[in-house]
């Protein structure tokens, strides 16, 4: 048989190609569960606006970057909504203590906590002039205000491994800040509602740990 026969060509091109069975056996990526807690002083209209604009935008970008479903769970328990967002500089500790203090104890026994879960507390006012959100990189809890267009994506970006130092300033006729830039660096720049390429890679790298 000739070395260049059609059978040899089929054998060569078939090597290393995953079969249908191999593809089907790959486990699906874990979804990202995001709890959202609106402060009690926020009204229904403001909550709906936040969900349909800033939160929906963050969800769209994170799903596209990660290839994972983002599952939003809005928590409306009155005790959970009554959090103090003004006094504690240690955001992670303060929010974690508030969460543990007010979480429904029966819930933990009924269902297992998702491995990939983040919680976003939403305030009725800007946290500060200099930053769209407060969170520690890779941690579980973050905080932002309902009226900051980059706030939800900024907070969730930090919780999913993005960094402020890898943010970009882009230009499309005007200078704009990507999601992870501080607000206070320049009041003249606009918003580029996207993650920088470096932060997209940071998010993927962080999420790879969960598969």
Question: For the residues of 108-119, what is the DSSP string, one character each?
Answer: HHHSPPPSSEEE
Q: What pLDDT band is residue 188 in, cutting at 50, 70 and 90?
A: confident
Pair of tokens at residue 70? 């983002």
- Mean residue pLDDT of the chain comes to 85
pLDDT of residue 111: 59
Rounded to two decimals, the pTM is 0.82
Q: What pLDDT band is residue 210 in, cutting at 50, 70 and 90?
A: very high
Helices (DSSP H) in 111-193: which residue ranges? 151-159
pLDDT in tens, 199-209: 999 999 999 99
Q: What pLDDT band is residue 7 in, cutting at 50, 70 and 90?
A: very low
Half-sphere exposure in the Cβ direction for 81 (13 Å, CA): 14
pLDDT of residue 87: 66
Name the nearest CA neighbour of 76 among 110, 109, 40: 40
pLDDT in tens, 115-165: 899 999 999 987 765 678 999 999 999 999 998 889 999 999 999 999 999
Fold of 29-210: Collagenase (Catalytic Domain) (3.40.390)
Alpha-carbon distance 198 to 153, whole Å?
15
pLDDT of residue 106: 47
210: three-class secondary structure by DSSP: helix
pLDDT at 9 > cutoff 50: no
pLDDT at 28 > cutoff 90: no
Q: Give me the percent of the chain exceeding a pLDDT of 70.
A: 80
Q: Give me the percent of the chain exceeding a pLDDT of 90.
A: 64
pLDDT in tens, 69-101: 999 999 999 999 999 888 656 888 899 999 999
pLDDT at 114 > cutoff 90: no
Alpha-carbon distance 52 to 132, whole Å?
18
pLDDT at 46 > cutoff 90: yes
pLDDT at 20 > cutoff 70: no
In the chain, what are the domain boundaries?
Answer: 29-210
């Amino acid at each position: 048989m000739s070395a260049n026969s059609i059978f040899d060509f089929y054998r060569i091109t078939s090597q290393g190609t995953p079969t249908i069975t191999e593809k089907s056996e790959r486990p699906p990526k874990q979804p990202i569960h995001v709890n959202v807690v609106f402060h009690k002083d926020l009204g229904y209209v403001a909550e709906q606006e936040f969900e349909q604009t800033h939160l929906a935008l963050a969800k769209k970008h994170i799903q596209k970057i990660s290839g994972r479903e983002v599952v939003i769970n809005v928590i409306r328990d009155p005790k959970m909504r009554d959090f103090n967002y003004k006094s504690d500089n240690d955001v992670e500790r303060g929010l974690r203590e508030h969460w543990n203090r007010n979480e429904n104890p029966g819930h933990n026994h009924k269902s297992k906590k998702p491995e990939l879960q983040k919680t976003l507390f939403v305030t009725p006012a800007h946290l500060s002039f200099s930053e769209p959100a407060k969170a520690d990189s890779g941690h579980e809890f973050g905080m932002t205000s309902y009226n900051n267009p980059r706030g939800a994506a900024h907070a969730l970006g930090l919780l999913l491994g993005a960094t402020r130092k890898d943010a970009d300033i882009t230009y499309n006729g005007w200078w704009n800040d990507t999601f992870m830039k501080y607000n206070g660096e320049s009041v003249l720049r606009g918003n580029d509602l996207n993650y920088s390429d470096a932060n997209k890679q940071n998010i993927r790298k962080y999420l790879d740990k969960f598969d």
